[in-house]
Amino acid sequence: MRMRSLRLLIAVFGLAIAPAAAGADDKPSILCLTGPSMKTSIEELARVYEERTGVHVVVEMNDPRSLIERIKVVEHADLFISHDPFLAMLDRDGIKVRRAWNPASLTPVIAVARGNPKGIKGLKDLARPGVRMGVTNPGTAISGNILALMLRKAGVEREVEANVVKRAAAGRQLAAALVADELDAAFVWNAVVYANREKIEAVDVPAEQRPQEGPESVMAHPSLGRIELDHVRVTIALLDSTAHEESARSFAELVASPEGAAVFLAHGFSPADPRRAPGSAEARSSGR
Q: Has residue 13 been placed in a domain?
A: no
Cα–Cα distance measured from residue 76 to residue 84, given in angstroms and rounded to the nearest whole number:
23
> Same domain for 79 and 132?
no
Q: Has residue 157 been placed in a domain?
A: yes
Residues sharing a CB contact under 8 Å with residue 195, sequence separation 6 or more, in sequence order: 37, 40, 172, 175, 267, 268
Of 3-7, 21-25, 52-56, 239-243, give the lowest mean pLDDT range.
21-25
For residue range 167-216, list pLDDT tens digits in order: 999 999 999 999 999 999 999 999 999 999 999 999 999 988 999 999 99
> Same domain for 160 and 79?
no
Whole-model pTM? 0.85
Strand-pairing partners, residue 108, are 189
Number of structural domains, the chain?
A: 2
Is it the case that residue 258 has pLDDT exceeding 50?
yes
Residues in the chain: 288
| Residue ranges making up the domain that contains 189 | 108-221
> Same domain for 242 and 200?
no
Question: Taking Cα atoms as reference points, which of 171, 209, 207 lies closest to residue 189?
Answer: 171
Cα–Cα distance measured from residue 260 to residue 265, given in angstroms and rounded to the nearest whole number:
9
Q: What percent of the chain has pLDDT over 90?
A: 75
Query: Which pLDDT band holds residue 26 (cuts at 50, 70, 90)?
Result: low
